[in-house]
Amino acid sequence: MSSTATATATPPLDQRDRPLAHLATLADEVFERTSPYEGFGFRNHCRRLHRFTTMLMQAKGLSFDIDLAYLVAMVHDLGLVSEQDTGENYLQRSRALFHRETAGLELGGTDPSLVDQCLLFNHRLLPVPNLSPEAECFRRAVIIEHSRGLKRWGLERGPVKQVFEDLPRGNFDRVLLDFTWRTLRREPTTLVNGIFF
C-alpha cells in the first residue's frame, strides 16, 4: 500500500481519536448497575446494536461519535428495568436515564435532541417521518438484530454474521420473555406501536 493510501485509509476503531471514551466506560458501569439479569444475553444484544449502528453510520458517512453511540446502545432498553426513571413508556424512561446519567458531562457538542430521537424511535418497524439519519441507523440496526441478519440494509452478509458470532445470543430469549411480561403489565400500548426491545 502506498503512503498516500495509508494516510487516507480509515483507521481501525481502536486507533481512532476517542474524545468521548469516558462515555463508553460510563455505559458499561450504568449497564452493570441497572440490569437485573444474569448472563451476557442482554449485554450482547446492546453491543450488537452498537456494532450494527456504527456499521450503518459508517456506510452512510455519518460522523456520530462511536462512544456516544455505545452509550445510547447500552441504555436503549434500560427503561424497561430502571426503577428510578419516569416516563409513559420504557423508551421515555430510557431517555430519562440517559439524561440523568450524563448530566453535566461533555457529549462532544452533540445536540441532545438527536440522542432523544435515537432513544425514542429505535423500536419502530416503519420509517418515522423527518427522523434524523443517525436515529434511522439505530432503528435499522434494531431490525438487523431482530431479523438475525436477514434484513441488512445494504450491509454485507459476512460482517453482519461476524457480529452475531463475536457477541453470542446467550440467554437473551429468557430476557425477552421478561421484557414481554414487564411491558404487558406496565404499558401494553407499547406493543401496538412497535417492537419493544
Compute the least distance from the CB of residue 179 to Fe ion, in Å.
Answer: 8
By beta-carbon proximity to Fe ion, the closer residue of 31 and 197 is 197
Determine the Cα–Cα distance for residues 83 and 1; give it in Å rounded to an integer.
54
By beta-carbon proximity to Fe ion, the closer residue of 65 and 77 is 77
Q: Residues 68-87 vs Fe ion: string with x where CB under 5 A?
A: ---------x----------
| Type of residue found at 65 | D
Determine the Cα–Cα distance for residues 123 and 89; give it in Å rounded to an integer.
12
Compute the least distance from the CB of residue 197 to Fe ion, in Å.
Answer: 4
Task: State which of residues 70, 90, 138, 197 lies at the interface with Fe ion (CB under 5 A).
Answer: 197
Compute the least distance from the CB of residue 77 to Fe ion, in Å.
Answer: 4
- CA of 79: how far to CAs of 7, 30, 41, 94, 120, in Å? 42, 12, 17, 4, 11
Give the residue from 48, 91, 96, 90 showing the smallest Cα distance to 69: 48
Interface residues toward Fe ion, by CB under 5 A: 77, 197
